[in-house]
């Protein structure tokens, strides 16, 4: 996780948050234009996230629900108004972009698969989680119709020659996708934290919920290729996850949805 030291957090914040940051080292760790993220180096560490009004409410709820499963930290503050403000405890450990993990790619690929399978094996029958599959497929269809298509960031094996080709694959396979699994929704190295090779928690849970496991499997394969600059370790990841639960056709369907954002 990239962090840039700054002089202070924005001053137009609740007084208790300003007091928390007063005298502490503060870093900007933002990774997207949608929200600003600050790390406050006090106690075990805190993350302060600021987004547009209404943008962080669902993520705050999901963090609380994952915290009950001991899979992430706590939300200490959430407020909404002209903008959303959320304060969370730091999840212990380092994310998977750390050199400790990247330097042992075979072990990393296996650990990624094993931990994803453990998440997906959680019994969903009594979970208070949103069902996300309809929203996921609806967004892909809307983006197809408005011309939002970009396959440039995906592995060649998941590539499509045109938006129409991808949309055709999506239409043929969408009925095979099933919302029966708790997924992260953005299962990428920066969002997974290990402590000495053991999972300590997940972050950036805004896309989490009950959906089809192949969405996480797609992103797991993608993040391995992107961060290790090769698809050499994908089979280790799939083997560790369990080939019995992987449908290659469903992966192609998810890939067709993902090119539409």
**DSSP for residue 160:** -
Higher pLDDT, 11 or 57: 57
Q: Look at residue 86 in the predicted model and tell me its pLDDT.
A: 97
| pLDDT class of 153 with cuts at 50, 70, 90 | low
Q: How far is residue 1's CA from residue 101's CA, in Å, rounded to a whole number?
A: 13
Q: Look at residue 192 in the predicted model and tell me its pLDDT.
A: 98
First to last CA, the chain: 23
pTM over 0.95: no
Q: How far is residue 238's CA from residue 213's CA, in Å, rounded to a whole number?
A: 12
Catalytic residue among 84, 95, 186, 204: 186
**Residues 96/109, Cβ–Cβ less than 8 Å:** no
Higher pLDDT, 12 or 231: 231
Q: How far is residue 107's CA from residue 17's CA, in Å, rounded to a whole number?
A: 40
Q: Which stretch of 9-13, 63-67, 137-141 has the lowest confidence by average pLDDT?
A: 9-13
Q: Look at residue 11 in the predicted model and tell me its pLDDT.
A: 84
Mean pLDDT of 85-106: 96
Domains by residue range for the chain, with CATH: 4-89 (3.30.200.20), 94-258 (3.90.1200.10)
Q: Is 186 a catalytic residue?
A: yes
> Which stretch of DSSP H or E encloses residue 58?
helix 57-68
**Residues 86/206, Cβ–Cβ less than 8 Å:** no
| Token representation of residue 120 | 């997906």
Q: Look at residue 7 in the predicted model and tell me its pLDDT.
A: 86
Q: Look at residue 154 in the predicted model and tell me its pLDDT.
A: 67
Q: Look at residue 174 in the predicted model and tell me its pLDDT.
A: 95
Q: How far is residue 77's CA from residue 19's CA, in Å, rounded to a whole number?
A: 14
| pLDDT class of 156 with cuts at 50, 70, 90 | low
- Could you tell me which residues come within 8 angstroms of residue 230 by beta carbon, excluding any fewer than 6 positions away? none
Cα 215 to the chain's mean position, in Å? 11
């Amino acid at each position: 996780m990239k962090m840039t030291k700054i002089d202070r957090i924005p001053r137009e914040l609740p007084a208790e948050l300003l007091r928390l940051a007063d005298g502490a080292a503060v870093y900007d760790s933002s990774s997207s234009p949608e929200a600003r993220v600050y790390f406050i180096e006090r106690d075990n560490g805190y993350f302060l996230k600021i987004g547009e009004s209404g943008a962080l409410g669902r993520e705050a709820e999901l963090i609380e629900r994952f915290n009950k499963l001991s899979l992430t930290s706590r939300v200490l503050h959430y407020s909404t108004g002209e903008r959303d403000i959320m304060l969370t405890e730091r999840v212990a450990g380092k994310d998977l972009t750390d050199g400790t993990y990247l330097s042992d790619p075979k072990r990393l690929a296996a650990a990624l698969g094993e931990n994803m399978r453990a998440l997906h094996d959680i019994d969903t029958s009594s979970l208070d989680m949103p069902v996300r599959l309809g929203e996921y497929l609806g967004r892909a269809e809307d983006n197809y119709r408005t011309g939002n298509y970009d396959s440039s960031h995906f592995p060649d094996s998941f590539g499509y020659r045109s938006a129409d080709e991808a949309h055709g694959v999506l239409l043929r396979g969408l009925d095979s996708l099933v919302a029966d699994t708790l997924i992260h929704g953005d299962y990428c190295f920066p969002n997974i934290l290990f402590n000495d090779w053991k999972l300590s928690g997940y972050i950036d849970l805004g896309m989490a919920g009950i959906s089809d496991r192949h969405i996480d499997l797609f992103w797991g394969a993608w993040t391995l290729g992107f961060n290790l600059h090769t698809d050499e370790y994908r089979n280790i990841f799939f083997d560790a996850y369990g080939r019995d639960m992987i449908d290659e056709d469903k992966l192609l369907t998810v890939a067709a949805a993902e090119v539409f954002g």
